[in-house]
Amino acid sequence: MYTERVMEHFRNPRNMGEMPDADGVGTVGNPVCGDLMNIYIKVEDNKIADIKFKTFGCGAAIATSSMITELAKGKTLEEALKITRGNVAESLGGLPPIKMHCSNLAADGLHAAIEDYLKRKEAEK
């Protein structure tokens, strides 16, 4: 059902864990629907210096979370905001059609984390 790349990220998720001192946190999904994703980012010099995730969900939810952390790490915020759901799925060698909309939330999670960071920065001013 899943590509080898999806299974590899499911088996060995990258950057899994919490980040108590995160500069921005994005939460997307809903446990009622079977997916909940937290993306934590640390920002230095307008770049994503560190990123972590925690996810409740299916294989695709966990693999896309892991993949987004790889795609976003080291990118500028502007670059990171351009990462789409399609990019995530493509990097994983594709996802089953039914999973494209429900479990492919990682890009949204990343964007939410960046928005949270920007909001916090705005509030500091």
Partner 1 sequence: MRRIYMDHTAGMPVDERVLEAMMPYFTQKIGNVSSAHFFGNEARRAIDEARSKVAELIGAEKKEEIVFTSGGTESNNLAIKGVANRNKDKGNHIITSSIEHMSVVNTCKHLGKHGFKITSLPVDKYGIVDIEALKKEITDKTILVSTMYANGEIGTIEPIKEIGEIAHSKGAFLHVDAVAAAGQVPIDVQDENIDLLSLSSNDMYGPRGIGALYKKTGTRILPIIHGGGQERGLRSGTENLSGIVGMGKAAEIAKANMAAEAERLSRLRDKFIKGVVDKIPESYLNGHPTKRLPSNVNVRFSYIEGESLILSLDMEGVACSSGSACTSKTLEPSHVLLAIGLAHEDAHGSLLFTLGRQNTEEDIKYVLGLLPSIVKRLRAISPLTPKELVT
Q: Which residues within the stretch 28-67 sit at the binding site for partner 1 (CB under 8 A)?
A: 31-38, 54-62
Contact region with partner 1 (CB under 8 A), list: 11-19, 68-76, 79-87, 110-118: 11-19
Residue 97 interacts with partner 1 (CB under 8 A): yes or no: no
In the residue annotation, 58 being an active-site residue is answered as: no
Report the interhelical angle of 59-72 vs 106-124 (nearest 10°): 50
**Residues 6+ away with beta carbon under 8 Å from 59:** 2, 6, 7, 10
In the residue annotation, 102 being an active-site residue is answered as: yes
Cα–Cα distance, 2 to 7 (Å, whole number): 7
Contact region with partner 1 (CB under 8 A), list: 10-18, 73-81, 86-94, 110-118: 10-18
Cα–Cα distance, 75 to 73 (Å, whole number): 6
SS3 66: helix
The residues annotated with a catalytic role in the active site are 33, 102
Tell me which residues touch partner 1 (CB under 8 A).
2, 7, 10-11, 13, 16, 18, 31-38, 54-62, 98-99, 102-103
